[in-house]
Amino acid sequence: MSSRQANNHQQRRSRAQSRLVERGDKTHATSRQQPLHKATVPQQPLSQLPSGLGVLQQIRITPRRLKESLTTAELLTVVMLSIYAVLGCIFSAEVNNALMFVVVNGCFIWLQCALAVSVSETDSGKVFRSLLLARRFFLLPAIYFIYSQAHLYITHINPRDYDAVLAQWDFTLFGVYPTQWIYQFANPFLTEFLQICYFLYFWIPLGLGAEFYATRPTQVYIRYALYVACVSYALYVGYFFMPAIGPCFTLHDFSLLNRELPGIFFTDTLRAIVNNGSGAGTALPHLTAHRNCMPSGHTMVTLLNMMIAFRWKSRFRWVYCVVGCGIIVSTVYLRYHYVVDLLAGAVVTVVAILGGRFLEQWLRKRGFANA
């Protein structure tokens, strides 16, 4: 290129930049220049960035920070874990591995508090998003862990079984034993459908919670978590008042259940999973089965989720409705519960929801900023 051509090119470039500046578009004219007064922040190497666990280890947990950070559901979780830790200490001589449960409860308490404080004090980035996700869904494993401990102490605190009382209440109300009466409608296809519904009970809160977490404002998910926590913990406390193992043991022969209520494909497998999870998958199921029939947890949690799915217009509310109705019917049809368990569960659900809202307001008045 000749010097004349180079000069012409430079002049055209200068005139183009001038026109950009004159009409207010300064982006191209100044994109290559950095203001002298702007400080450059050195970038930390990726390998040195703190991980989620590293952030948790650096968090200082103090009463003031907990008061500013914990939601009502998280505070209830800490209280329930603390109660079971105390029970583990009291009954350490009677309950196998009780002290191990005490230690694990302590770990759950620390992790719940650390997650709450760390999320409140972390601004943004991948670490924040990871901690936030862990915090929001920590309630589910915490609830399951608390549930898994209830049966350890029920028989020590209240050793009586109330099955005879509950069965008599059913007979007084209906003139029949409902689990025996409904047997006339037994059908392998119906059994299959209801056994699947009964098993899906464990997944409905996870699905509805994930939907609210992904598509709704944070406060909606926090309120949902509060309701789930209140209903679940009211249920676990209720077990201690009237322990019972259910009509499948008292009004029916448990060993004949697969023969009397056969399914099609998955019934036996799902039934075995439920039995093992409830302590009935042993050689002496009537002795080892958990005393957790009254009130009906399947009814309580299902009614809560059905109500919220319609009230808050979940995309899958009709799916939850069909499965939820199947769950409630299955509790009697599959001989897991007396009908009075369901009625008590419905009442306790309403009380727990109202109690949760009252507790939330009470805590806010006392300085719990995030309740």
- Determine the pLDDT at residue 37: 37
Please state the rounded mean pLDDT for residues 113-122. 82
Per-residue DSSP letters for 244-310?
---HHHHTS-GGGHHHHS--SSSHHHHHHHHHHHTT-SSSSHHHHS----SS-HHHHHHHHHHHHHH
Whether the predicted pLDDT of 5 surpasses 60 = no
Q: Tokens for 156, please give them.
A: 């020590």
pLDDT in tens, 282-298: 889 988 999 999 999 99
pLDDT in tens, 164-188: 999 999 999 999 999 999 999 999 9
pLDDT in tens, 36-85: 333 333 444 434 445 545 555 566 788 888 888 899 999 999 999 999 99
Please state the rounded mean pLDDT for residues 272-288. 90
Whether the predicted pLDDT of 228 surpasses 90 = yes
CB 270 within 8 A of CB 200: no
Please state the rounded mean pLDDT for residues 238-263. 94
Q: pTM score, two decimals?
A: 0.81
- Say what the alpha-carbon torsion angle 22, 24, 28, 34 is, to the nearest 10 degrees: 110
Q: C-alpha distances in angstroms, 62 versus 117, 136, 355?
A: 9, 21, 27
CB 72 within 8 A of CB 356: yes
Query: Burial, 248: exposed, middle or buried (Cβ in 10 Å; 0-12, 13-18, 19+)?
Result: buried
Whether the predicted pLDDT of 1 surpasses 80 = no
- Determine the pLDDT at residue 45: 44
Q: Which of 7-16, 282-291, 295-304 shows the lowest per-residue confidence on average (mean pLDDT)?
A: 7-16
CB 247 within 8 A of CB 177: yes
Q: Which of 58-67, 226-235, 261-270 shows the lowest per-residue confidence on average (mean pLDDT)?
A: 58-67
